[in-house]
Amino acid sequence: CMRKGSNLCNGDHMPQEAWPTTSTINRMLASEKVRWSLHTVRTRLAKKQQYCQFFTRFGECKKSGGKCPYIHDRAKVAICTKFLKGLCSNTSCKLTHKVLPERMPDCSYFLRGLCTNTACPYRHVKVNSKAPVCEDFLKGYCADGDECHKKHSYVCPVFEATGECPQESRCNLHHPKKKNKSKRSRADTLQNNS
Ligand SMILES: [Zn+2]
Ligand SMILES: [Zn+2]
Ligand SMILES: [Zn+2]
Ligand SMILES: [Zn+2]
Ligand SMILES: [Zn+2]
């Protein structure tokens, strides 16, 4: 090497093949583009085939009349919890009165080993207490039914375990009030003492 500053000649420069040529880059970009457009098509299709959360959960949708892009399926509407307690006699009830494991909450007595009712409409599945809440169930219909090992419960598991929920009003799960009483009164006395 006679040229000034040509320290590239000392042998540690990259071999030519290691650098992608322009055509390889173009090919890579093209396939990336194809992948991306397939991805968007797939998500768009998935969106179209999704069930309407409002309709499934509440039996009605404000966007009905063909305006709602999601599926309104009467067969997948959530169970009427009032009916389960024997409190709904509304024959035109928007929710379903048909008992199916796909839409039934877990039997809390069964989970404590206390349900002996063979005709119990609630789901008799041994769900781990640490299992997450089934999102499909919360939407009103879980296609896995009795096979699902997630919690079919409207009660917030965080609230149930700790007596409080960090999401509070933003949490759309049920926060039963009774259980909190002893904890709250203790907290009150602690506050009063300080
Ligand atoms: Zn809808
Ligand atoms: Zn009802
Ligand atoms: Zn039961
Ligand atoms: Zn489920
Ligand atoms: Zn919560």
pLDDT digits (tens, 9 = 90+) for 84-109: 889 999 989 999 999 888 999 999 99
- Interval between CA 41 and ligand 2 midpoint (Å): 39
Is pLDDT of 188 > 60? no
State in Å: Cα 167 to ligand 1 middle.
26
In this structure, which ligand is nearest to the CA of 56?
Answer: 1
Among the bound ligands, the one closest to the CA of 113: 3
CB 45 within 8 A of CB 38: no
Q: Give the closest residue to 79 by CA, choosing from 100, 62, 61, 64.
A: 100
Among 50, 153, 147, 71, smallest CA distance to 104 is for: 153
Residues around ligand 2, an ion, CB closer than 5 A = 80, 83, 88, 93, 95
Distance 122 CA to ligand 4 centre (A): 13
- Residue 150, pLDDT score: 96
Q: Which ligand is nearest to the CA of 101?
A: 4
Whole-model pTM: value is 0.59
Alpha carbons within 13 angstroms on the beta-carbon side of residue 94 total 11
Domain ranges of the chain: 99-180
C-alpha 165 to ligand 5 mean position (Å): 5
User: What integer pLDDT is reported at residue 125 of this predicted model?
Assistant: 94
d(C-alpha 20, C-alpha 5), whole Å? 26
* Amino acid sitting at position 126: K
Q: Is the pLDDT of residue 145 over 90?
A: yes
Measure 74 CA to ligand 1 centroid, in angstroms.
12
CA–centroid distance, 16 to ligand 2, in Å, is 74
- pLDDT for res 28: 72
Ligand nearest to the CA of 61: 1
